[in-house]
Structures are given as C-alpha cells and as structure tokens.
Amino acid sequence: MSFQNKYIKYKNKYLDLKNKLDQKGGAQGKTALMFASGSGHESLVQSLLKPGASKEYVDIQDEDGNTALIQASLYGHGSIVDSLLLVGASLDLQGKYGYTALMQASKRGHGTIVDSLIRAGADVNIQEEYGNTALTLASRDGYETIVQSLLGAGASLDIQNKDGYTALIRASKEGHGSIVDSLIRARASVDLKDVYGNTALILASHNGYETIVQSLIQAGASVNIQGEDGNTALMFASGSGHETIVQSLLGAGASLDIQNRSGRTALMMAKLSNHNNIVKLINEWSFSHRIRRFKFW
C-alpha cells in the first residue's frame, strides 16, 4: 500500500471516529480530537475542526478530566495548541491530578506553548491537587525561561503546596541557581518554611549548593532558623561536609551555640560525621571570635 493510501486510510479512520464520538465514548472516554491532539496529527486535527466543531466538543473531558488542549500541551504539539485556541478551547479546565494545559506545558518544558497559553489568558495561579502551580512545577524541574514567562504574567511567588514548598524552596532544594536568582529578584519570600520547618537556605545548605546559599544570604535569609528537628542550615552543612557553605554561614552570623533536639551543635555534627576539616574550621573560627571579643573588652 502506498504512503498516500495509508495516509488516506488513517485519516478516514479518525474521521470515522469523530462521527462516532461526538460525545465521550472512546478508550477512557477520549474523543477522536483528543487522540489526534495528543498524537500530534496536525492535519487530522484540522480536519476534525474544519466543519465547525462546537466548543462543547472541543472541551469534552475524558475520564481523567483531560481535554484535547491538555493533551496537546502535555506532548508539546504547539501548532495543535494554537489551532485549538483559535476555536476557543477552554484554557483552565483541570485534568488528571488537577493539571491544566499550562501546568502540563510548564512541567514538560514546552516554553512556546506556555507563551501561547499565557497570551490567550490562561490562569497562572491555579493549583493542582497537591497544591503546585505552574511556577512551582517549572521551578522544580529547572525550566528557567518558563519561570521568566510565568513571572512576567504575574504568577504568585509564595503559594505553598501541601509539603509547604514554594517555587523558591523547590528551586533551592533542587539546585537551580539561576531560577533562585530570578525568584529573589521578583521578591519571593526567603524565609518561608515547608511542613518540616525547613527554609530554602536550610535545604540548599544541606544539599551543598554553594551559589544558592550565597544568593539567599545576600537576599537576607535568616541563618539561624531551626527546622522541626532543631537543625539549622549550619548544622546540616557541617554534618554533610560542605566546608565552603559552613564558611559562608559563619560569615553571615550563624550561631555555633544552637542545639538541635538531640542536644547537638554544628561542631558536634561535624565530629560525628568525621568531617575533620570542618571541625578545624569551626574551632579556629570560635577561637578567633573569642580573641576579638576579649580585645574589644
């Protein structure tokens, strides 16, 4: 069978599906338009829309709540997204787990689609079932240009998901320094805590992200906040062996006297983890500061 005949057969198959599925009825309640949109078959989508498909047909949701627009956004089919927007596809319907088309595009890194949806007026602050917004998802997964687009569209900076994560906390935890800087410039709150009492600084210090720690300190992050277990950023950095971060935190005024719930200080945590270089650093720092206080007195 020639390529042209195969194409015609394939096209007719979808047209036949459309005739049968003016309402839900396919696998998982999907319409022919959903299948074509998710699979990237642009010409078939055009054929399905050409007769003047009703908005109700375009916006049909499958058993998971997904629409043709959500499917196209998820799989990165930008031209199909544009076609669906032209016929008035609803922007903010929520599909599986509460994801909108904008969320799906944001967490998959489809920047052009994100821009198209924003221009069309998509709500940038809708939260999915776990409380994440498009900004939180893009910040978590490291899509800097998408973060910039969402910020430009007025995305709220400090919305917290069920774990208490904001976009800044998530980006700090995952080590996305340029995104952290963008969020700080946009005036994200630097001292919000997750459900475990951890701040962006505590998580960045624990995971060893030196430049992020520096950015957060320069933005005024509090260095002595304790998580629910009583650990500070300095304790985590000391126990994890991050010497440069320990130096930065000490220089920013981190206390060596704070104890966690187990009664341990940063020095004790460094000793327990056999980070002798940090033990030496802390002892020298403590000694030099005692000398300074003595001279001042």
The domains found in the chain, sorted by start residue, are 161-297 (1.25.40.20)
Q: pLDDT-derived band of residue 288, with 50, 70 and 90 as boundaries?
A: confident
pTM: 0.89
pLDDT band at 113 (very low <50, low <70, confident <90, very high): very high
Note the pLDDT of residue 177: 98
Q: What is the pLDDT of residue 63?
A: 94
Residue 297: per-residue pLDDT: 47
**Under a CB-based contact definition with an 8 Å cutoff, are residues 37 and 71 in contact?**
yes
Q: What percent of the chain has pLDDT over 90?
A: 84
For 222-261, letters b (16+ CB in 10 Å) and e give: bbebbbeeebbbbbbbbbbbbbebbebbbebebebebbbe
User: Is the Cα dihedral 83, 87, 93, 95 positive or negative?
Assistant: negative
Q: How far apart are CA 254 and CA 231, in angstroms?
A: 12
What average pLDDT does range 147-167 have in this prediction?
98
**Torsional class of 141: left (φ above 0), alpha (ψ -120 to 50), beta (otherwise):** alpha
| Residue of 17 and 52 predicted with greater confidence | 52
Question: What is the average pLDDT value for the chain, to the nearest integer?
Answer: 92
Question: What digits encode the pLDDT tens for the residues 203-234?
Answer: 999 999 999 999 999 999 999 999 999 999 99
